């Protein structure tokens, strides 16, 4: 063939490469963003969608909460609710009636006024069983909401939500629910724009294109301007938002950064202001830096091992406690986890709106041996074996291997490891087809109830076989009737004590959020929910001078 | 020739049908479903979701319905991305993956072809060993190692090229193309060396030399065409492989291509997406194999006569 042909082809490409290389190292996105007020945000994965009543994940929530706003929003510093679409709310004496007064200035992004009827219609949609909303249960505190959502009640008029007038929404609750206002910041309780949705199909149709850039109407501080699949999502400051004077960013670009090593590299070269997380082995490197961009803060989540108490040898509480006591959580954290997390001794993360869980035990090998001997396995003799199931992940594996060794050293027992692919693992846990299984729980709202109700007899995420009517009574009946936060927390404390004495699971550590944040980013505080409120955030062009 | 093409196309139908059938039933046998998540899903919600995706119907009915949709070119709605059809997702990812594949192939042909030809001119000397050792390293070096390595050197230390993206920042296509292309470059180097060595001993090359042609003209005018036939035969499957195998490179460089959808679909149990991408890619592989056969025939007169006799 003709080599000179390829050579001719080659030359321009080569020149192009050189040119591109030459102009490659220009101004970084971060520098540009600081000048233009555009935040470049590493958002984990490509969002499933942007319909508040369909999506379920964290990456989705960041974008949805930029485009929509709830009746109340969380203050990013304190996590206490503050006015959103509702400018105020009254709670009746018995705590069962909540009346929201909507801000008359609240607008949809197409200019329509927001009304109480928008909420009645939207909650009907969110709860409609045909919608398949996986977070419908966020509205279950509302009277008859659960019955409607599970198809037991057909008439939505019987559900406890009504519009008293254009700007007043009254909600009737099943029982006093101290955290109800907080739930108004969860996207499944957000209002959606009825005319837009109905323009593209039925209210409950999951497949309509109403959330596309050209169609979507929201009510948040930002509006959607670009959505390139697996590439970026761009939002710009809304000019119809009621509190727009307070919004300081001109826009945000969300990047799907699935590969956490790539995300870290993007941050290093100034392509991102913020990373969703950081590779575990990079933590010591960033820690050692001066003026490090690494931010580590407690997070509302617990990492634990479920124990199937219906299966031998775990039906014996002494075995369960022995396993837990034999773990040196501090050592695990300092070695395997690079001291990035916090050892856990209960299910509720410490400091959940002021609540401190009981600490009933620590690392105590002698006591663990004694318990195991009492259970009939002195020095591990006669031990029938135990299998630990976890889903494929390097960090889960490392933790499992470390604990396997701790149990071997302390109790002389064999624990085998079973690694399963994510969906297979979910199936095993759901079917209770395991002895011991890794689990993580991330809170949906900041209240001990969100963790303690996991272990109710009928709890959908219990997965241990644990069932204690006394415990159920404390969580579902006594706690909601408490007259003060202190009294309520005292009941929770007693309930959690009871739970940890029975040890249907082994707490291992409390999660932390780990981010790299560029020093120019201001007022994006760490908080327990890792909750992002973009209304507060701004970019400091003179950050270098400030340092 | 035309009869040969029609025959091969007809042969492809049962192959693709078998792929669809096996994939359809295999993904459903796998434990865990598309709507399982770490937080328990309320049974009523799960039932509603399954109804929306026809999962409540008997498996054979679903299979028949899927084939019916497929006949009309419909790959169905994605489970993971509600509101988007598999057709749309493939249409979004394919141009990117194809472009990446094309650049990678270009890189592979230029580097691999040159290395192979150079090595073949002086076999068993340093001029042979050097490029061939490099090719061996290229074959052995996985892209999940080469990619980050290139990024580290050219993206971070030297700050010459962007570390990720696709078409966002000038130059961000260079590193992914090199990373993906290097393995194939290595194969092409070995193939073209072998092909050239064989051709260089042929009579017509001796004739060309006897005519007094300078060596570079012997190579470019006479030897290359025959010597590169094995490479051409490799190109079809290689391009199909580049399309379906670019997942790692797409992940390293955050490229919005088809490969990422393909692999994630399996983890998500996104049934329609798994099926859609599998059907699509298997069709492509069959087509590219055919294409490279035709190309090889065009380059090799002996094969051509065989085809016309078929």
Partners of residue A4 in chain B, C-beta under 8 Å: 220
Pairing relationship of beta strands A521-522 and A342-343 according to DSSP bridges: unpaired
Q: Does residue B34 or residue A367 have the better pLDDT? A: A367
**Per-residue model confidence (pLDDT) at position B306:** 62
CB within 8 Å: A131 and B42: no
pLDDT-based confidence at B303, cuts 50/70/90?
A: low
Q: Which of B30, B36, B170 sits opposite A430 (nearest CB)?
A: B36
- Please name the residue of chain B whose CA is at the shortest distance from the CA of residue A264: B163
**Per-residue model confidence (pLDDT) at position A486:** 92
Pair A484, A506: CB distance under 8 Å: no
* pLDDT tens per residue across span A277-288: 999 889 999 999
Pair A452, A504: CB distance under 8 Å: no
Helix axes B271-299, B258-268, angle to 10 degrees: 140
Given a cut of 70, whether residue B21 has pLDDT beyond it is yes
Tokens of A464: 């241990």
Q: Which of A397, A425, A300 is nearest to A350 (CA)?
A: A300
Quickly count: other Cβ atoms within 10 Å of residue B71's Cβ.
8
Token pair 């892209």 in the structure block, residue: B143
Residues A186-207, mean pLDDT to the nearest whole number: 94
Q: How distant is the Cα of A445 from the closest Cα of chain B, in angstroms?
A: 14
Q: How distant is the Cα of B32 from the closest Cα of chain A, in angstroms?
A: 5
**Per-residue model confidence (pLDDT) at position A18:** 47
CB within 8 Å: A49 and B253: no
Q: Which range, of A38-52, A316-330, B191-205, averages the lowest pLDDT?
A: B191-205
CB within 8 Å: A265 and B163: yes
* pLDDT tens per residue across span A138-186: 999 999 999 999 989 999 999 999 999 999 999 999 999 989 999 999 9
Q: Residue A497: how many CA atoms within 13 Å on its side-chain side?
A: 10
Q: Give dist(CA B124, CA A397) in Å, integer.
A: 48
Q: Which range, of A17-26, A396-405, A490-499, averages the lowest pLDDT?
A: A17-26
Q: Which of A13, A150, A232 sits opposite B42 (nearest CB)?
A: A150
* Chain B 206-265, residues with CB within 8 Å of chain A CB atoms: 219-220, 224-225, 228, 251-254, 256-257, 260-261
**Per-residue model confidence (pLDDT) at position A3:** 37
**Per-residue model confidence (pLDDT) at position A349:** 94
Pair A380, A372: CB distance under 8 Å: yes
**Per-residue model confidence (pLDDT) at position A13:** 52
SS3 B226: helix
pLDDT-based confidence at A23, cuts 50/70/90?
A: very low
CB within 8 Å: B83 and A21: no
Q: Give dist(CA A29, CA A225) in Å, integer.
A: 18
**Per-residue model confidence (pLDDT) at position A198:** 96
pLDDT-based confidence at A50, cuts 50/70/90?
A: very high
Identify the bridge partners of residue A41 per DSSP, sorted by sequence position.
A254, A274
Chain mean position to CA A128: 24
Residues B229-257, mean pLDDT to the nearest whole number: 85
CB within 8 Å: B39 and A461: yes
For A367-429, list the strands marked E by DSSP. 386-391, 415-420
Q: Which of B168, B170, B228 sits opposite A1 (nearest CB)?
A: B228
Tokens of A391: 């889903």
**Per-residue model confidence (pLDDT) at position B305:** 65
Residues B139-164, mean pLDDT to the nearest whole number: 89
pLDDT-based confidence at B216, cuts 50/70/90?
A: confident
Highest mean pLDDT range out of A10-14, B38-42, B174-178? B174-178
Q: Work out whether the CA dihedral A283, A285, A286, A291 comes out positive or negative.
A: positive
Pair A1, B229: CB distance under 8 Å: no
pLDDT-based confidence at A403, cuts 50/70/90?
A: very high
Q: Residue B114: how many CA atoms within 13 Å on its side-chain side?
A: 10
Burial-class residue A316 by CB neighbours within 10 Å (0-12, 13-18, 19+).
middle
Phi then psi dihedrals of residue B162, to 5 deg: -65, 150
Given a cut of 70, whether residue A4 has pLDDT beyond it is no
* ipTM rounded to 2 decimals: 0.85
Mean pLDDT, chain A, as a whole number?
92
Tokens of A58: 């964290």
- Please name the residue of chain B whose CA is at the shortest distance from the CA of residue A427: B32
Q: Which of B83, B106, B254 sits opposite A259 (nearest CB)?
A: B254
- Please name the residue of chain A whose CA is at the shortest distance from the CA of residue B90: A229
**Per-residue model confidence (pLDDT) at position A108:** 97
* pLDDT tens per residue across span B155-200: 889 888 988 888 888 888 999 999 999 888 888 998 999 988 888 8
Contact status of B170 with chain A (Cβ, < 8 Å):
yes
Q: Give dist(CA A153, CA A145) in Å, integer.
A: 9
Q: Residues with Cβ < 8 Å from B9, sequence gap 6 or more?
A: B290
* pLDDT tens per residue across span B203-212: 888 888 888 8
Q: Residues with Cβ < 8 Å from B113, sequence gap 6 or more?
A: A6, B188, B189, B192, B228, B231
């Amino acid at each position: 063939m003709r080599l000179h042909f390829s050579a001719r082809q080659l030359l321009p490409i080569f020149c192009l490469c050189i040119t591109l290389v030459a102009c490659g190292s220009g101004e970084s996105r971060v520098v540009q963003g600081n000048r233009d007020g555009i935040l470049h945000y590493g958002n984990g994965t490509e969002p499933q969608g942007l319909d508040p009543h369909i999506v379920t994940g964290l990456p989705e929530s960041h974008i949805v909460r930029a485009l929509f706003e709830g009746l109340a929003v969380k203050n990013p510093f304190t996590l206490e609710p503050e006015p959103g679409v509702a400018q105020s709310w009254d709670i009746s004496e018995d705590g069962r009636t909540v009346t929201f007064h909507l801000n008359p200035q609240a607008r949809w992004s197409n200019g329509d006024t927001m009304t109480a009827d928008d909420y009645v219609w939207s909650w009907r949609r969110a709860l409609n069983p045909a919608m398949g909303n996986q977070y419908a249960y966020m509205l279950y505190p509302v009277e008859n909401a659960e019955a409607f959502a599970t198809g037991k009640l057909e008439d939505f008029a019987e559900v406890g939500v009504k519009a008293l007038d254009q700007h007043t929404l009254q909600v009737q609750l099943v029982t006093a629910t101290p955290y109800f206002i907080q739930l108004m910041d969860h996207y499944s309780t957000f209002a959606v724009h009825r005319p837009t949705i109905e323009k593209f199909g039925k209210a409950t149709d999951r497949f309509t294109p109403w959330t596309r850039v050209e169609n979507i109407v929201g009510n948040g501080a930002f509006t959607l301007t670009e959505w390139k699949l697996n590439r970026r999502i761009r939002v710009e400051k809304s000019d119809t938002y009621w509190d727009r004077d307070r919004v300081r960013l001109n826009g945000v670009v969300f990047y799907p950064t699935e590969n956490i090593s790539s995300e870290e590299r993007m941050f290093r070269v100034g392509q991102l202001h913020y990373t969703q997380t950081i590779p575990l082995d990079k933590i010591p490197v960033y820690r050692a830096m001066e003026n490090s961009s690494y931010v580590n803060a407690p997070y509302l989540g617990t990492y634990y091992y479920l124990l199937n108490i219906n299966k031998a040898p775990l039906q014996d509480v002494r075995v369960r406690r022995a396993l837990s006591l034999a773990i040196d959580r501090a050592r695990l954290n300092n070695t395997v986890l690079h001291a990035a997390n916090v050892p856990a001794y209960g299910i509720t993360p410490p400091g959940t709106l002021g609540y401190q869980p009981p600490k009933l035990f620590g690392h105590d090998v002698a006591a663990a041996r004694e318990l195991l001997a009492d259970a009939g396995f002195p020095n591990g003799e006669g031990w029938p074996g135990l299998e630990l199931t976890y889903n494929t992940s390097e960090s889960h594996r490392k933790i499992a291997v470390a604990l396997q060794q701790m149990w071997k050293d302390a109790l002389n027992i064999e624990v085998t490891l079973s690694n399963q692919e994510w969906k297979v693992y979910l199936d095993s846990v759901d079917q209770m087809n395991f002895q011991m299984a890794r689990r993580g729980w991330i809170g949906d709202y900041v209240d001990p109830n969100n963790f303690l109700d996991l272990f109710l007899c009928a709890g959908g995420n219990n997965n241990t076989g644990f069932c204690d009517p006394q415990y159920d009574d404390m969580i579902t009946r006594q706690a909601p009737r408490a007259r003060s936060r202190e009294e309520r927390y005292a009941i929770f404390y007693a309930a959690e004590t009871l739970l940890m004495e029975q040890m249907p699971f082994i707490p291992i550590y409390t999660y932390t959020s780990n981010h790299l944040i560029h020093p120019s980013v201001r007022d994006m505080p760490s908080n327990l929910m890792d909750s992002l409120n973009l209304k507060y955030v701004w970019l400091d062009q003179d950050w270098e001078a400030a340092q | 020739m035309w009869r040969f093409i029609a025959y091969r196309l007809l042969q492809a139908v049962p192959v693709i049908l078998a792929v669809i059938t096996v994939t359809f039933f295999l993904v459903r046998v796998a434990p865990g479903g598309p709507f399982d998540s770490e937080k328990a899903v309320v049974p009523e919600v799960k039932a509603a979701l399954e109804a929306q995706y026809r999962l409540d119907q008997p498996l054979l009915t679903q299979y028949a319905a899927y084939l019916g949709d497929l006949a009309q070119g419909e790959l169905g709605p994605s489970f993971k991305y509600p509101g988007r059809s598999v057709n749309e997702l493939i249409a979004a990812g394919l141009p990117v993956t194809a472009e990446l594949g094309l650049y990678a192939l270009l890189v592979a042909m230029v580097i691999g072809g040159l290395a192979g030809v150079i090595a073949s001119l002086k076999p068993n000397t340093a001029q042979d060993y050097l490029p061939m050792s490099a090719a061996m390293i290229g074959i052995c070096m996985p892209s999940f190692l080469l990619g980050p390595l290139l990024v580290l050197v050219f993206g971070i230390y030297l700050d010459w090229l962007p570390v990720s993206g696709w078409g966002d920042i000038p130059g961000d296509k260079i590193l992914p193309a090199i990373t993906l292309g290097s393995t194939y470059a290595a194969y092409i180097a070995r193939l073209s060396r072998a092909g050239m060595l064989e051709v260089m001993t042929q009579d017509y090359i001796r004739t060309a030399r006897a005519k007094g042609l300078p060596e570079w003209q012997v190579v470019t005018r006479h030897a290359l065409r025959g010597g590169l036939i094995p490479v051409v035969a490799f190109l079809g499957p290689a391009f199909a492989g580049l399309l379906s195998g670019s997942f790692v490179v797409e992940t390293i460089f955050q490229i919005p291509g088809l490969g990422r959808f393909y692999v994630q679909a399996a983890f998500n149990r996104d049934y329609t997406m798994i099926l859609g991408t599998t059907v699509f890619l298997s069709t492509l592989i069959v087509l590219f194999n055919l294409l490279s056969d035709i190309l090889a025939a065009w380059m090799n007169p002996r094969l051509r006569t065989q085809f016309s006799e078929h």
